[in-house]
Amino acid sequence: MTTQFDIKQLLQKPIAMMTGEELTFLLNSSMEAKANEQTPVVQKRTYYGIEGIAQVFGCSVPTANRIKRSGIIDAAITQIGRKIIVDADMALALAKEAEANKEKKE
């Protein structure tokens, strides 16, 4: 026996007054609504070249060159030939971690 309930009426009804079937219907409806909600897609921020590193860190191109040569952000850099691709979020996290490690040593 399948019974359809009006969700608006069930939401107004106290839980103590609901039957088990009504409560189950209400919970299942809520779970289906949550499942249908789309989770936001997080886009990876990528930059290209030494200029991209300069944009990520807000510095000059020569300083960006020094950052790249230091090796601190190597895990965030993919280099194919002369093309440099930088994962901005990872680069910033690595730089922050390196700065924290530097402060611990001092």
Do 62 and 26 fall within a single domain? no
* pLDDT 10s digits, 45-97: 889 999 999 999 999 999 999 999 998 999 999 988 989 899 999 999 999 99
Do 32 and 82 fall within a single domain? no
> What backbone torsions phi and psi does residue 7 show, to the nearest 5 degrees?
-60, -40
Could you tell me if residue 2 is inside a domain? Answer: no
Domains: count for the chain? 2
The model's pTM is 0.56
Q: Cβ contacts of residue 42 below 8 Å, gap of 6+? A: none
Do 50 and 98 fall within a single domain? yes
For residue 21, the enclosing domain spans 7-36
Do 97 and 60 fall within a single domain? yes
Strands, sheet with 46-48, edge to edge from the N-terminal-most edge strand: 46-48, 83-87, 77-80
Do 78 and 54 fall within a single domain? yes
